[in-house]
Structure 1
Amino acid sequence: MDMLAYSLGAENIRWKPHALKCSNVMVEVELNGEPATFLREISQDAQRPLSIFWGRMDGALSAGPSQWDRFPFKRSEQKISFSQAIFGALDLPQAQGQGAANLTMHQLLRVLYADQPSVHSPIFRMDNFDSALTRETIGGYLSGVYDDQLYTAQLRVRELNKALDKKISELRGIFRVLGQSGQTPDIEASRNIIQELEQQRAQLTDYIDQLKVSRTLSRKESNEAGKKADNLRARLSSAKRYESVLKDSIAAINLDISDSKLFIEELTYRLQSLDESKATRDYLGDMSFQFCPGCLSELKTESIEHSCQLCKSPIESGADGQLLRMRNELSIQLKESKLLLALKEEEVLSLSKDLPSATQEVKRLEKEYKSASSNWSSDIETVLESTGRRLGVLDQEIQQAYEKQKLFSVIQELQKQRDDLARELTELESTIESLEAGQQSRKVDVARVLEKNMIRLLKQDLPLQPEFVDAQVVKYDFEENSVYVNGSRNFSESSTVVLRHIFHLALLSTSMELDYMRVPHFLMLDGIDDGGMEQNRSHNLQEIIVRECGAYKFDYQVIFATSEIQADIEKTNMVVSRPFTPVSRSLDVR
């Protein structure tokens, strides 16, 4: 039985010494009516690969290595796992999503193979790396509750949430930078500015061309050209004053900030001192002295009420209230000071943003004034030079406007992607809600039919367990790995074995009735007579299995092993191979 389970992909097999003498195990199977042969190396190492020959064993025995497909236990980007290959041949969907990503043949066989070491595990073969989430996933998958569309949608929702968070984070970062620089991300406004700047540039270019041809200026232009140096001087003075005001304001506020920080430190220290003073009073307030700490003379016992034991000075009442009042005042001052400090720091930050551009403007005007005052130029040359400089400034502004437009286009695209992701997320969440409602309906249907079949089969057991005789309610829980009959799950050893096998048989019967379930029509039941079961009860359980399977309308295979086969069953062709004994074991390795 262990060999069969291992050849189908089971893990955590407790190998017996005889089995470890074998090198490989080969088994012929039918997958949806199509034959295939599995070959797997026997090893105590975990997660061994499996080779598949897509044909019967007769052909596999003579096939060359190139005719076999070798699949690893785990999937990878380059190779599918043997579980994926078998699921594909069985037309079973690949389980996806959280908790379902690792669903393998081993996990299915934990339900389809009830082995002897797991006799007290009513649903699952025990697993060293078991988890409640894994059991819930396996149960949902086999019950047909697993919906590939639902899990795909849930997986997509997680991807969308990550992508949406990323887009929102990118937008927040951009908006934070733009807000600090005082820019507004308006793509339409940036286009209008570019058009205005282009028009101004075209006008200036035409004006320069006209001047070069006519070489004449109007009286107004001549007067303005003559006053160029004076205008530059006035502009330079104004720019320097503005720069000085900014620097002085920043320095003054920084000085205030330093004072505020010192004041806050002082307030914090005072608060700490008050807390220490209160702690000291609480600790020493009720202490009595027998001797003077100064001269070590014995103190007189008589004392005056509300006075110090040592100096006899009156102790003021309400001292704790005074401390509380002082602490409250200091806390208010500290809060206000921190608020004012934050405002001053914001003001310095705002002024510091303007300072570089003011300094740059001063340097530019200084160069321009120096050039105008040191070199004589005619009125036309002065106008051409001034106009060319304005043209250069316009070119720079146009370039910056285009760069801004690029940035705003990126923002617009990010916003569109964010909105698309949000829209798809909303639609998927609605789909998931609908699918989950359908899933819940299937859960109820499977539970109802499985309960009906279990009650029917339990009542066919010998009348030894009262709960089975009068079975009214049967509940099962894949996640908890428990089966309850009339609210109880603790029974005698033999009744536990009966309940275990009847649950698996009822699960197979239910899958025959509900076509959406995904239980392969295959069971392996070991330890039919475990748990000190009486022979007549074991024989009855065998008859229940044979009788139930005889009513199935679809192709199936149920393999059960027992050391005490029922006489009528032994005479049929249902018995495979020969009886195994200590001197003639199932693996007769010589």
Structure 2
Amino acid sequence: MTQYKPFIFINRLIITKGKHTVYDEFFHKGVNIIRGTNSSGKSTIMEFLFYGLGGSILEKQWKTVALSCDNTHIEVDINNQVFVLKRQVSTNFKEQMNIFEGTYDESVNSSAQNWLSFPYASTANKESFHDNLLKLLNIPITKSQDSSYINFNQILRLIYTDQLSGISRIFREEDFDSSFKRETIGDLMLGVNSKDVTQKKLEIIQLNKNIDKLTSDIRAFTTMYGEVESESNINERISENKVAIETLTSSLYSVNTVENESVDESTKELISSKREQLNTSLQTKENLLRDINTLNFEIIDSESFVVNLKKRLINIQESDNTLSILSDIAFNFCPSCFSKVSDNLKEVGACNLCHSSNNDSYESPTFRVRKDIEFQISETKDLIPKFNDDLEKLTGSYVLIKEEISNLKGEILILEKPIKGISSEKTGTLINIGELRQKGSELAEKSRVLNNLYAKQANRDSLQNILNSLENEVLSKESSVISNRNNRKTLISAIALRLLLKDLDREDDFKDPKEISFDFTNDRIKVDGVSNFSASSTSILKTVLKLSILIASCEDPGFLYPRLAIMDNVEDKGMEQARSQNLQKIIIEESNNLEVEHQIIFTTSMIDESLEGSKYCIGEFYNPESRTLDIKGY
């Protein structure tokens, strides 16, 4: 069958309690049915699927029997790479996730070092498992207008239809939800925002933050110092001050200087002390200059390192894609003698050319390498702002030490050349020189602060230009976004309308509907503008919409919806048996008609007799005596 990416399919679910396995079932592509009587644990398994994939379950939502278990392991196929996702069963909805590349059987015999641990939320040093899963799926990390990151849990809220959420709601309910968040999830899953546009929107958000921070710093400076002096003006004042000092100093020695007059001992000690200070300052200046050069090199080297690492990531991904393409090649003729390749004695999963059996599943050798490179990129990018801050401080210190050296040299010059007959005029000159040197120190400090301000102003103006350019780019593509959104929502609505006509004749408004509309923002579905139906009919409508989203994603490769539907509501809210069984047949018929790989998992307590024991069924028919979780005696 054809494959559209992204996709995530569940191969196997394992739930453990201590050393015991209390649930272990394999799943397949297409339709998977978990069936059994009420209160036999079907919904518990669906909750475990949601949680194991990264969903958030609050303490009040956990069933007691589920909390008695210890760990979930889900073997998944993500874009043709097999992973095991492991989470400890916990009332902490922010529980971390451990990820192993390979099958569950391989993970059991593997050492702990082959597992990678990811926190629920990203930190400065490590990405979250949500971000990691999104990267594996090649779904862009997105932020909504209310600054909420769309993590994988948010996407699962659309994939998973549970029994506890309101029957008229499209998304699984959760605390602190918002219309902005739902709108962004919907647009993301419809694929209406290209990865390029999404990335630009994230950049716009970050640029606005950076500009706001710089503007705040500039405003704080003007509040403290008042009017901002121009760079040329402050430099001119510093230059004039130095000339004035030099002129006054020269005037002291123009007449009546004492030649070869001995300097008293106390003055010699003072000169010696000043020279030591000068030598120390000169050494400090040299060290500062060396550190400044080193930091400049570090910044340039780090930026270059990040660029090269990003290129390596692209190359690695291209290598993976090439291997994936080559592994899918089916040879109809021998590449050596050009004879037709025989299908005789060929085992399932065997090589198409030589027919040799290969029981070892292919593992991409690049997963850990990619994670290591991504960590290095993140770590290096975090260092660059620190380097820039350190450089700014060193540059300011360098300006001050230069002024201090100039002052020390002037003081030593006066001490080493005694002046005969200190008149009141010359005393005044010395006082003026002291005042000018103090003024020079103040100007140097002001220059340092102003240089910092000028840098912030230049940076703000540069970022503003970039922001304006990005906003113009995004604005120019908004019409395309709106068109894509409307086209894909129209496709989903048309499919939903077709499916609703297959429902049994129970709801008057479903007999001859003209339009089905849905709104991710307001979390509502309507038929011909009406949303108020019986509970069972509303449940049917919700299932039809969720199924339609999956079908549409299999008809249009532009969708980013990962071709998976998990539904625990196909007979919710008092639905009669005949209507439920009709819906089951609709799901299977639609699935069988699709030519793109997908996966549907649903539960029922009213399975159609023709489906019981079929290839669609997962596990046994459960009941209160034989529940889904085999925890008796454990």
The aligned counterpart of 1:8 is 53
- Larger RCO: Structure 1 or Structure 2 (Cα < 8 Å, ≥ 6 residues apart)? 2
Structure 2 residue matching 1:531: 3-state secondary structure = coil
The aligned counterpart of 1:489 is 531
Q: Note the 1:150-165 alignment, pairs <5 A.
A: 150-165=200-215
Q: How far off its partner does 1:203 sit?
A: 5.1
The aligned counterpart of 2:102 is 55
Q: How far off its partner does 1:423 sit?
A: 4.1
In the alignment, does 2:450 pair up with 1:411?
yes
Supply the distance in 2 between the matched residues of 1:15 and 1:193 (Cα, whole angstroms): 72
In the alignment, does 2:113 pair up with 1:113?
no
In the alignment, does 2:256 pair up with 1:212?
yes
The aligned counterpart of 2:546 is 504
Q: How far off its partner does 1:426 sit?
A: 4.4
Q: How far off its partner does 1:529 sit?
A: 2.0
* Residue 15 to residue 205, structure 1, CA distance change in 2 (3 Å): closer
Q: Partner letter of residue 589 of structure 1? A: I
Q: How far off its partner does 1:162 sit?
A: 2.1
Structure 2 residue matching 1:117: 3-state secondary structure = coil
2:628 to 562, 586, 590: 586
Q: How far off its partner does 1:205 sit?
A: 4.9
Q: Note the 1:323-338 alignment, pairs <5 A.
A: none
Supply the distance in 2 between the matched residues of 1:117 and 1:138 (Cα, whole angstroms): 20
In the alignment, does 2:591 pair up with 1:549?
yes
1:473 to 515, 522, 541: 515
Larger radius of gyration: 1
Q: How far off its partner does 1:99 sit?
A: 4.2
Q: How far off its partner does 1:33 sit?
A: 1.3
Structure 2 residue matching 1:578: 3-state secondary structure = coil
Q: Note the 1:297-376 alignment, pairs <5 A.
A: none
The aligned counterpart of 1:250 is none
Q: Partner letter of residue 98 of structure 2? A: S
CA contact (8 A) 2:145 2:180 kept: no
Q: Partner letter of residue 506 of structure 1? A: S
* Residue 390 to residue 17, structure 1, CA distance change in 2 (3 Å): closer
The aligned counterpart of 1:84 is 131
CA contact (8 A) 2:245 2:437 kept: no
CA contact (8 A) 2:182 2:523 kept: yes
1:452 to 471, 490, 494: 494
The aligned counterpart of 1:69 is 116
Structure 1 residue matching 2:164: 3-state secondary structure = helix
Structure 2 residue matching 1:560: 3-state secondary structure = strand
Higher deviation after alignment, 25-34 or 559-568: 559-568
Q: Partner letter of residue 548 of structure 1? A: E
Supply the distance in 2 between the matched residues of 1:431 and 1:451 (Cα, whole angstroms): 33
Percent identity over the alignment is 27
CA contact (8 A) 2:55 2:153 kept: yes
- Greater share of helix residues, 1 or 2? 1
* Residue 121 to residue 41, structure 1, CA distance change in 2 (3 Å): farther
* Residue 565 to residue 429, structure 1, CA distance change in 2 (3 Å): farther
The aligned counterpart of 1:124 is 171
Q: How far off its partner does 1:134 sit?
A: 3.3
* Residue 212 to residue 478, structure 1, CA distance change in 2 (3 Å): same
The aligned counterpart of 1:377 is none
Q: How far off its partner does 1:586 sit?
A: 2.0
Q: How far off its partner does 1:120 sit?
A: 1.0
Q: Note the 1:513-532 alignment, pairs <5 A.
A: 513-532=555-574
Structure 2 portions without partners, runs of 5+: 1-45, 260-419
CA contact (8 A) 1:100 1:137 kept: no
CA contact (8 A) 1:119 1:527 kept: no
Supply the distance in 2 between the matched residues of 1:544 and 1:394 (Cα, whole angstroms): 96
- TM-score normalized with structure 1 length: 0.63
CA contact (8 A) 2:154 2:185 kept: yes
Supply the distance in 1 between the matched residues of 2:88 and 2:146 (Cα, whole angstroms): 29
* Residue 422 to residue 476, structure 1, CA distance change in 2 (3 Å): farther
Structure 2 residue matching 1:157: 3-state secondary structure = helix
CA contact (8 A) 2:140 2:199 kept: no
* Residue 565 to residue 413, structure 1, CA distance change in 2 (3 Å): same
User: Deviating runs (4+, > 6 A) in structure 1?
Assistant: none
* Residue 21 to residue 423, structure 1, CA distance change in 2 (3 Å): closer
* Residue 424 to residue 193, structure 1, CA distance change in 2 (3 Å): closer
CA contact (8 A) 2:168 2:525 kept: no
1:558 to 583, 600, 624: 600
In the alignment, does 2:149 pair up with 1:149?
no
Structure 1 residue matching 2:170: 3-state secondary structure = coil
CA contact (8 A) 1:186 1:408 kept: no
Q: Deviations over 1:523-578 (max 9, x none)?
A: 11113222332333222222221222223332211111112223444464222222
* Residue 191 to residue 22, structure 1, CA distance change in 2 (3 Å): closer
CA contact (8 A) 1:37 1:55 kept: yes
Supply the distance in 1 between the matched residues of 2:218 and 2:209 (Cα, whole angstroms): 14
The aligned counterpart of 2:615 is 573
Q: Deviations over 1:15-35 (max 9, x none)?
A: 444434433222211111111
Q: Deviations over 1:471-505 (max 9, x none)?
A: 32332222322111111111112211111111111
CA contact (8 A) 1:37 1:54 kept: yes
Tell me how many residue pairs correspond in the alignment: 419
* Residue 51 to residue 573, structure 1, CA distance change in 2 (3 Å): same
In the alignment, does 2:436 pair up with 1:397?
yes
Higher deviation after alignment, 96-105 or 560-569: 96-105
The aligned counterpart of 2:474 is 435
Higher deviation after alignment, 503-512 or 123-132: 123-132
CA contact (8 A) 1:97 1:152 kept: no
CA contact (8 A) 1:24 1:41 kept: yes
- Greater share of strand residues, 1 or 2? 2
Q: Partner letter of residue 422 of structure 1? A: D
Structure 1 portions without partners, runs of 5+: 179-183, 216-379
CA contact (8 A) 2:245 2:436 kept: no
CA contact (8 A) 1:35 1:54 kept: yes
In the alignment, does 2:143 pair up with 1:104?
no
- TM-score normalized with structure 2 length: 0.59
Structure 2 residue matching 1:134: 3-state secondary structure = helix
* Residue 192 to residue 479, structure 1, CA distance change in 2 (3 Å): closer
Q: Partner letter of residue 425 of structure 1? A: Q
Q: How far off its partner does 1:214 sit?
A: 12
Higher deviation after alignment, 578-587 or 99-108: 99-108
Higher deviation after alignment, 112-121 or 52-61: 112-121
Supply the distance in 1 between the matched residues of 2:153 and 2:569 (Cα, whole angstroms): 20
CA contact (8 A) 2:159 2:565 kept: yes
Q: How far off its partner does 1:385 sit?
A: 4.7
CA contact (8 A) 2:97 2:129 kept: yes
Supply the distance in 2 between the matched residues of 1:101 and 1:414 (Cα, whole angstroms): 32
Q: Deviations over 1:300-325 (max 9, x none)?
A: xxxxxxxxxxxxxxxxxxxxxxxxxx
Supply the distance in 2 between the matched residues of 1:488 and 1:409 (Cα, whole angstroms): 67
The aligned counterpart of 2:298 is none
2:216 to 149, 161, 166: 166
Q: Partner letter of residue 172 of structure 1? A: T
* Residue 579 to residue 100, structure 1, CA distance change in 2 (3 Å): farther
Supply the distance in 2 between the matched residues of 1:30 and 1:415 (Cα, whole angstroms): 53
Supply the distance in 2 between the matched residues of 1:541 and 1:387 (Cα, whole angstroms): 107
1:420 to 459, 471, 474: 459
